[in-house]
Structure 1
Amino acid sequence: MAIVDIHSHFFPKSWPDLHAKFGGDWPWLKHQEHGKAMVMKGQLAFRPIYSACWDPAVRLEEMDRDGVSKQIISATPILFAYDKPAEQALYCAQLFNDAAIEICSHNPSRLFALSQVPLQDIDLACKEASRAKSIGHVGVQIGNHVGLKNMDDEGVLTFLQHCANENISVFVHPWDMMASERTKDYMMGWTVGMPAETQLSIVSLILGGGFDRLSTDLKICFAHGGGSFAFLLGRLDNAWHHRDIARGKAQKPPSAYLDRFYLDSAVFDHDALDLLVKKMGTDRLMFGSDYPFPLGEQRMGQLVKTAVNLNEQQKQQILATNAEQFFQI
């Protein structure tokens, strides 16, 4: 059974000293022994990683271990630089986009890349998304917000329409999680904040009238199974029907827009996967592992492979067919 993993991350083994170039706090890698490294943000430790992030040989070996046919790599959100001046963020986007293509060049039939863009400047973001497509990227990954601007922001909608016009697939990843002071312990920023951010991004795009305005040609997928969106869809519909202020600009109830976007399968629980299938259908789900991080699926594809309520055709849809069509790989 073919497996295409649409949600995996990378770091280059090294990159120019961004602090020396621009000043301020920037991510960098502190390499350790035995293929391990610590991602640093200025002088603060951010995340431990290992060589699968930068070494395509290690990545391919672990893909073979789990039977993964193809994998799409994307930057870890700490590299977005949305909080920096736009020209600096553009420099970073080009730097890491080129690095991603270099990693994929080691086996271009199995490794593919999503670009990043300086989303705080829509003109620059559109230009970089198009440039990245021209050098081989199969889509673009964006964060789910820029500061206080959600997915219904006019600039973000302009960027999404550009992607629809240029046939650039979009993957939305949560980052810079809400309530950081209240979720700083126990990794709750990742286990609580990230799902909440993902639900917020979908709901803001729906209720902000984004799907009513954007071309149906837009191909957009949200990470982490959409967070808590599927579980709370009934609450959203109830609010839309019974409180006019809860409708926003959406012409239809939220459940009427499920055919406008995709979700990945990174939910780590068969009951949650069953709910996604019931709400979205197998034709709107794509396998994502969040590899190679500790909070990702440790044996890529096992959740879908062992799902007792899916037949072989449905498993293959989620594991590969939908992704191959969505990203044209």
Structure 2
Amino acid sequence: MTPPTVDVHAHLLLPDVEALVAGRPGLAEAKTLDALRNGPAALAVSGPMVRDRIPKLTDVTVRLAAMDAQGVDVQLVSPSPSHYHYWADEETAEKIYRHANEATAAHCAAAPERLRGLGLVPLQHPGQAVEALDDALRQGLLGVEISSHAPGRELSDPAYEPLWTRAEETGALLFLHPFGCTLDERLDQWYLSNTVGQPTENAVALSHLIFSGVLDRHPDLKVVAAHGGGYLPTHIGRSDHAWSARSDARAGCAHPPSSYLKRLYFDSLVHAPHVLRELIRAAGPDRVLLGSDFPFDMGTEDPLGALRAAQLSELDFHAVRGGNAATLLDLV
């Protein structure tokens, strides 16, 4: 049986969440930081870009028509990372994740054969994370989307151990999608905040999971990294060298860093055929999933065309096109 074509990197806008946080203490400061990190030129382009895409981000009928045009059978839909709001206090954070989980589930329920969803957890409050994940699962979502860090906390922080444990126990997916880069104004021109910042954040976050031993302690954790895992998979040799050469680098994980790539999943959104081929070589053809970043401008409007451009074997093409995701998402 031919598996469906599955896009694991597609987004949803949640107006109710933004209405919820409007005027809350901390929002203005967060927006100021976002403006600092991106710069005025990027914000001037991003605002109209998002507005033009609101129908695709909110209207199920429009989404399905776009999926049909792309040849995509199933989307794994996650909230726009702009909804993380990791500045929020505990009371507000709980309202955010409950609204986000419910709204995402409702969006997907409008086309249950074609849409699967992910919720949110407030990484800034690790004590809420397990309940937020459980709430997402109760809503029928497959897991949650997380950023590369929270203020003052990396993903290696021991406070997240209960979240990893619960995700492993339930088989929940964790979609690692950064939002913002802590290099701040160094990247505030030419959209470096995204082109350099996002893959940097992916690489840092995955390195924390690897080098701290999180993946040793939780070998069945299902982590899907957006943007092909950023710089890490194509530069993993440097990590392996450090692990071999230095006692401090190998103090936290039991095996060479490159071996952990085969325990993770990666989307295919790397924007160059030779990079996709290297990602598949490094992680394995069973660990790469089709991803488009629907419908944003830093994604691809033709994810299957981008996959064909890599000139993979027939077996690997169909694995990435949908076979791997169909197994991971239990679609078959």
Q: Say whether the fold is shared (TM-score over 0.5).
A: yes
Match of 1:168 in 2: 172
1:122 to partner: Cα distance: 2.5
Q: Which amino acid aligns with 1:18?
A: L
How many angstroms apart in 2 are the aligned matches of 1:19 and 1:128?
Answer: 18
Counting matched residue pairs gives 311
Q: Deviations over 1:66-86 (max 9, x none)?
A: 110000111111211111112
Match of 1:73 in 2: 77
Equivalent of residue 272 in structure 1, options 254, 270, 275: 275
Contact 2:27–2:87, Cα closer than 8 Å, also in 1: no
Unaligned stretches of 5+ in structure 2?
30-42
Contact 1:80–1:89, Cα closer than 8 Å, also in 2: no
Contact 1:291–1:298, Cα closer than 8 Å, also in 2: yes
- Pick closer, same or farther for the CA change 1:203–1:273 going to 2, 3 Å: same
Q: Deviations over 1:6-35 (max 9, x none)?
A: 0111103555633557344279xxxxxxxx
Report whether the alignment pairs 1:140 with 2:107: no
1:301 to partner: Cα distance: 2.1
Q: Secondary structure at the match of 1:246?
A: coil
Match of 2:56 in 1: 52
How many angstroms apart in 1 are the aligned matches of 2:57 and 2:232?
Answer: 30
Q: Deviations over 1:254-290 (max 9, x none)?
A: 1122222111111011000110111111101111111
Report whether the alignment pairs 1:9 with 2:11: yes
Contact 1:224–1:265, Cα closer than 8 Å, also in 2: yes
Equivalent of residue 288 in structure 1, options 287, 291, 296: 291
How many angstroms apart in 1 are the aligned matches of 2:249 and 2:14?
Answer: 44
Match of 1:316 in 2: 318
- Structure 1, 298-307 or 318-327: larger mean CA deviation: 298-307
Report whether the alignment pairs 1:302 with 2:305: yes
Could you say which structure has the greater relative contact order, defined with CA pairs below 8 angstroms and 6 or more residues apart? 2
- Pick closer, same or farther for the CA change 1:230–1:98 going to 2, 3 Å: same
Q: Which amino acid aligns with 1:246?
A: A
Percent identity over the alignment is 32
**TM-score if structure 1 supplies the norm length?**
0.89
- Structure 1, 299-308 or 59-68: larger mean CA deviation: 299-308
Tell me how large the CA RMSD over aligned residues is: 1.9
Greater helix content: 2
How many angstroms apart in 2 are the aligned matches of 1:159 and 1:87?
Answer: 19
Paired residues for 1:192-231 under 5 Å: 192-214=196-218, 216-231=219-234
Contact 2:16–2:99, Cα closer than 8 Å, also in 1: no
How many angstroms apart in 2 are the aligned matches of 1:58 and 1:243?
Answer: 53
Q: Secondary structure at the match of 2:75?
A: strand
Match of 1:64 in 2: 68
- Pick closer, same or farther for the CA change 1:178–1:20 going to 2, 3 Å: closer
Match of 1:153 in 2: 157
How many angstroms apart in 2 are the aligned matches of 1:69 and 1:76?
Answer: 21
Equivalent of residue 235 in structure 1, options 235, 238, 242: 238
How many angstroms apart in 2 are the aligned matches of 1:278 and 1:52?
Answer: 34
Contact 2:14–2:79, Cα closer than 8 Å, also in 1: no
1:314 to partner: Cα distance: 1.1
Contact 1:289–1:301, Cα closer than 8 Å, also in 2: no
